Amino acid sequence: MATAKAFKTYFLGDACLCWQLGEKIDRLTSLQVLYAYRQLKNPELARLGVHDLVPSYTALAAHAGPLCDWDAVRSVVNACLAAMPAAEAKLLVRSARHVLPVVYNGEDLQRVADHARITPDEVVRRHTTPEYLVAMIGFRPHFPYLLGLDSSLVTPRLDSPRTAVPAGSVAIGGEQTGVYPQTSPGGWNILGMTRPELLYPIEPGDTVLFTRDGA
Average pLDDT (170-194) is 97
pLDDT, position 9 = 96
For the chain, give the secondary structure using H, E and C: CCCCCCCEEEECCCCEEEEECCCCCCHHHHHHHHHHHHHHCCHHHHHCCEEEEEECCCEEEEEECCCCCHHHHHHHHHHHHHCCCCCHHHHCCCCCEEEEEEECCCCCHHHHHHHHCCCHHHHHHHHHCCCEEEEEECCCCCCEEEECCCHHHCECCCCCCEEEECCCEEEEEECEEEECCCCEEECCEEEEECCHHHHCCCCCCCEEEEEECCC
Tell me the pLDDT tens digit for each residue of 146-177: 999 999 999 999 999 999 999 999 999 999 99
Instruction: Output the pLDDT for position 67.
Output: 85
pLDDT digits (tens, 9 = 90+) for 60-112: 999 998 889 999 999 999 999 999 998 888 898 778 999 999 999 999 999 99
pLDDT (0 to 100) of residue 15:
94
- Which domains are assigned to the chain? 8-91 (3.30.1360.40), 97-212 (2.40.100.10)
More confident residue, 178 or 139: 178
pLDDT at res. 42: 86
Model confidence at 3, pLDDT cuts 50, 70, 90, reads low
Q: Is the pLDDT of residue 1 over 80?
A: no
Q: Higher confidence at residue 101 or residue 140? A: 101
Q: How far apart are CA 203 and CA 189, in angstroms?
A: 23
What's the whole-model pTM score? 0.90
pLDDT of 114 reads 98
Please give the mean pLDDT across all residues of the chain. 94
CB 110 within 8 A of CB 178: no
